Amino acid sequence: MMALFYTSEKAYLLLADGTVFEGKSFGVKGTTIGEVVFTTGMTAYQETLTDPSYYGQIVTQTFPLIGNYGVNYEDYESNKSFLSGYIVREWCNTPSNFRCQGNIDDFLKKQNIIGIHSIDTRSLTRKIREFGVMNGAITTEDVYAKKAELLEKINSYKIVNAVNTVSIPEICSYKAENGKRTVVLIDLGYKRNIRNELLRRECNVIVVPDRTSAEEIKKLNPDGIMLSNGPGDPEENVEVIKNIAEISKLGIPIFGICMGHQLMALAHGARTEKLKYGHRGGNQPVIDLKLGKTFVTSQNHGYAVVGESVNTDIAEVSHINANDRTCEGVRYKNIKAFTVQFHPEARGGPLDTSYLFDEFMKLMEEK
C-alpha cells in the first residue's frame, strides 16, 4: 500500500465569492492568484502541469490521488509549467514507476508553483460546475487576516496577453528521420506531441512565433501549416487573427488545433464565447458529423467557436460535442483547411482521433 506523508503547514484556497477551503501546503509557499478550473483526467497529471494552455489558471484535479507514478522529463509537453497554482485531494510522495525521476512535490518546487492538498475537490468541482469558473487564490498566509485585500486582487485579476507570453521568441527547426515534407508549426502555446506526431509522419517541423507574418511563412516554403493550441481569450489576439487571414490566402494546407481552431474561425468572421466551466480532461465525447461516429477525445479549453456564427458559404461545422452540442470542428470549403477543438495528438489521453493527422498528410500530398 502506498504511503502518504503530508506536512502539517496550512494552506488556503479563497474563491472570488468569499468561500474558503482549508488544506495543506505543498510545492512552494506564498500567495498566487488565477482562474480556478478543473480537469477530469484520471492520469496524465504531468501533461496537465506542462501544458501551456493552462497559463494563468489554478488547476484542480478531480481524480482524488495524484502523483502515484511520479514525474519524468520525457513526458513534458513544454519546457516548463505555466500554471498559477495546483489543487489536489491527495498527493503521493512515494511514487512507484520504472520511469519515475522524481515526485510531484519536488516538481512543483522546481517550477515555483504553489499547491494545496487535502481539500474537498469534489465540493470545489461541484461549485464550479454550478456557478462557473471563478478567480481564486492559494495562500500559505493567514487568509482570514488578509481576506478583504485578497478578494480585491482576486476580483480584478484577468488573464491577458497569454498566447504571446507562452510562444517561443524565435524560430526553431526539427528534422524528421526521413523527412519528406515541411510543416510550419505556429506556436500559440503548442504541446510537444503535436510536433512529435508530425515528425513521426516524416515531416520536418519549423516552429515559429505566434506573430509570424504570412510573408515570412511563405519564404519558408512549407508543404503545410499547423496552428497549435494555446491559452487565454482567443479574441484578444488581434494581430494573430489578421495574420491567419492572410496566411489562409497562401494556398497552403492548414490544420488547426484548439486555440488554432478558434483563431482560424475568428479570421473568417465567426465568433467565440466563454463556456461556463470549459472542457478539460480525457473523456469528452465528440461526434464527427461526416463519419457519423462518436470519438472519445482529450480537451483543454474554456472558450468555444459559436457554431451558428460560422459562415456556411465558406465553411461548415464538422464536429460537435455530444454533451453540450458546442462546435468541435470546422472544415473550410474554398481553402484546404480544417480545424478541431480537441487534441488528436494527446499522448496523455485517448488517440481515437489521430486519423486527423493522416488527413492533413493527404491534404499536403494533393498540394
Q: Tens place of pLDDT for every residue, the chain, 367 residues?
A: 444 555 569 999 999 999 999 999 999 999 999 999 999 999 899 999 999 999 999 999 999 999 999 999 999 999 999 999 999 999 999 999 999 999 999 999 999 999 999 999 999 999 999 999 999 999 999 999 999 999 999 999 999 999 999 999 999 999 999 999 999 999 999 999 999 999 999 999 999 999 999 999 999 999 999 999 999 999 999 999 999 999 999 999 999 999 999 999 999 999 999 999 999 999 999 999 999 999 999 999 999 999 999 999 999 999 999 999 999 999 999 999 999 999 999 877 888 999 999 999 999 998 7
203-208 and 172-174 beta bridge pairing: antiparallel
How far apart are alpha carbons 98 and 23 in whole angstroms?
31
Q: Give me the pLDDT at residue 7, please.
A: 58
Residue 60: which of 117, 102, 7, 12 has the closest Cα? 117
pTM over 0.85: yes
Of 261, 268, 301, 343, the active-site residue reads: 343
How many Cβ atoms sit within 10 Å of the Cβ of residue 186? Answer: 28
Q: Give me the pLDDT at residue 127, please.
A: 98
How far apart are alpha carbons 344 and 258 in whole angstroms?
10
Q: Give me the pLDDT at residue 350, please.
A: 87
Look up residue 68 and give its three cell numbers.
502515484
Of 258, 268, 301, 319, the active-site residue reads: 258
Q: Give me the pLDDT at residue 312, please.
A: 97
End-to-end C-alpha distance for the chain, whole angstroms: 57
3-state secondary structure of 53: helix
Active-site residue, 258 included:
yes
Active-site residue, 327 included:
no
Of 35, 47, 77, 345, the active-site residue reads: 345
- For the packed helices 238-247 and 259-267, what is the interaxial angle rounded to 10 degrees? 70
3-state secondary structure of 273: strand
